[in-house]
Every structure is written in structure tokens, then in C-alpha cells.
């Protein structure tokens, strides 16, 4: 019986992953009409806030973390289009996956979901903070956070975003004329991420490829709140 249940779970995950890849191949405008399924790996301040905001924008969300009871409570507080599950369930569920965990957790997370994220759009909100994350943060900052995350999440269509603005300032971006720097190497993934960024009231600004992801974190010139035009001017000084 256990073997049969495991096979059933595997087939469900595989079917969900295949559906996600097919959905991701559509233009964003087409996907937006049907709304997205967003799977969250990490449901703390960033993941929980983003999930709540995108839920209110009409998307379906699934939260996952080390505390399933927290995830269930968060989902129940939102409504019928929100749910909670395991990390692998959330990744399989999502047309887009949002990873919002401490950087020290990223290597283990990457191994856990490696077979599910290949070809999926993954938004990386994780920042390597040496005081919190230790040696992995030292390595990631030396390599550049965008390239480091791509190495830890192989096969994902990675976009770095939401790395330089605090979670408490995410909800009222439209009223403050704030830009959002993002970085990635995949044009379609950037298009998808840009659409989601706009839904929260930010103006997305592509800072460049994943190599530019090293500037999308606290302590760099792109950190904090800037208008889109200011971001573009700052990027010119970094290239």
C-alpha cells in the first residue's frame, strides 16, 4: 500500500510539473487572463506578504515552510484560493515558484526540489547575509547572488526580485511611484516576473542578467526605494 501511495504522489507531482511547464510557455498576457498558481517556498515576512498580495490580485497560492500549521493559518486567513502543503507540493503546484528562505537553507531546498523546478519560472527573493547565513553567504556574495542562486537552483528560469525593499513597504508601492529592479537571463521569465511586479504597483526595471543580481540586495546602490528612472541611472553606473 505504501508503494502504491508513493507512486500516486509521484504521478500527481509529475503531472502538475508538466502542466506548469506548458503554462509557462504562454505569453504573460495570456497567462494573466487565467491568473497564475503561485507556489511559495518559505512563508515568512517576504513570502507571506507577497503571497497575500498576489492572492488579493486574483491568483491562487500555496504556502510551504518548516511550520505547516503557520501555513495553514495563513491560507485560511486569505480564502478558498489559498492552501498549504509541503515544499514539493507547493513547487509542483506553482506555475511560478517564489523562493523566500534564509540563504543558508537554499542548498538543501535546491536539492529537495531539483526535479520539479527544471524549466519553471522561479522568483528568487533570497539575500546572502553573512551574519545570519555564514559561509554560504560569503561564497554567494563573492560569486554574485544571482549566479550563486542559479547554481543552487539548477534548471530554473531564475529571476531575482524583491531583494532590496523591506516587506513592510510592499503593500503600498503604487502610491509611492517606486521601481523594482529585477535581474535574469531568460526573457520570458523576466516578462512573467515583470507582470507580477506590476500587479503590486511597482514599475519593473530589468537591471540586466543574473550577473547583475549581486546588486539586488541590501548594502548596494540599488537597495532601498527609487523611482524607475533613478534605478535606470544607477544601473548605468554599475555596468
Average pLDDT estimate for 59-69: 97
The confidence score (pLDDT) of residue 122 equals 98
* 239: exposed, middle or buried (Cβ count in 10 Å: 0-12, 13-18, 19+): exposed
How many residues appear in the chain? Answer: 239
Q: How far apart are CA 93 and CA 237, in angstroms?
A: 40
Residue-wise pLDDT for 109-144, tens only, equals 999 999 999 999 999 999 999 999 999 999 999 999
Average pLDDT estimate for 25-49: 76
Instruction: Order the strands of the 60-64 sheet from edge to edge.
Output: 82-84, 60-64, 37-41, 96-99, 121-124, 157-160, 179-184, 203-208
For the entire predicted model, the pTM comes to 0.85
Return the number of other C-beta atoms located less than 10 Å from residue 79's C-beta.
10
Residue-wise pLDDT for 176-208, tens only, equals 789 999 999 999 999 999 999 999 999 999 999
Architecture of domain 2-238: 3-Layer(aba) Sandwich (3.40)
Residue-wise pLDDT for 167-179, tens only, equals 888 887 766 789 9
Task: Decide: 23 and 119 in contact? Cβ < 8 Å.
Answer: no
Q: Which DSSP string corresponds to 67-128?
A: -HHHHHHHHHHH-TTEEE--HHHHHHH-SEEEE-S-GGGHHHHHHHHHHHHTT-EEEE----
Q: Please say if the pLDDT value at position 8 is more than 70.
A: no
Half-sphere exposure (CA, 13 Å, Cβ side) for 86? Answer: 7
Enumerate the β-bridge partners of residue 97.
39, 122
Domain ranges in the chain are 2-238
Q: Please say if the pLDDT value at position 28 is more than 50.
A: no
Amino acid at each position: 500500500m505504501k508503494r502504491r501511495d508513493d507512486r500516486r504522489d509521484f504521478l500527481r507531482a509529475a503531472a502538475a510539473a508538466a502542466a506548469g511547464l506548458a503554462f509557462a510557455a504562454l505569453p504573460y498576457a495570456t497567462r494573466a487572463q487565467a491568473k497564475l498558481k503561485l507556489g511559495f517556498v518559505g512563508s515568512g515576512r517576504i513570502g507571506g506578504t507577497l503571497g497575500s498580495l498576489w492572492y488579493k490580485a486574483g491568483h491562487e497560492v500555496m504556502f510551504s515552510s518548516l511550520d505547516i500549521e503557520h501555513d495553514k493559518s495563513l491560507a485560511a486567513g486569505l480564502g478558498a484560493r489559498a492552501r498549504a502543503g509541503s515544499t514539493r507540493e507547493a513547487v509542483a503546484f506553482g506555475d511560478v515558484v517564489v523562493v523566500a528562505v534564509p540563504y543558508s537553507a537554499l542548498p538543501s531546498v535546491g536539492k529537495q526540489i531539483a526535479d520539479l523546478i527544471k524549466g519553471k519560472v522561479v522568483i528568487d527573493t533570497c539575500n546572502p547575509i553573512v551574519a545570519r547565513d555564514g559561509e554560504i553567504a560569503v561564497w554567494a556574495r563573492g560569486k554574485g547572488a544571482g549566479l550563486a542562486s542559479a547554481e543552487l537552483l539548477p534548471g530554473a528560469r531564475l529571476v531575482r526580485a524583491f531583494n532590496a525593499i523591506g516587506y513592510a513597504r510592499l503593500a503600498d508601492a503604487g502610491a509611492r511611484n517606486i521601481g523594482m529592479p529585477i535581474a535574469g537571463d531568460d526573457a520570458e521569465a523576466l516578462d512573467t516576473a515583470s507582470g507580477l511586479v506590476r500587479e503590486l504597483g511597482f514599475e519593473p526595471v530589468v537591471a540586466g542578467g543574473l550577473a547583475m543580481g549581486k546588486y539586488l540586495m541590501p548594502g548596494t546602490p540599488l537597495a532601498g526605494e527609487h523611482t524607475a528612472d533613478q534605478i535606470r541611472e544607477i544601473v548605468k553606473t554599475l555596468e
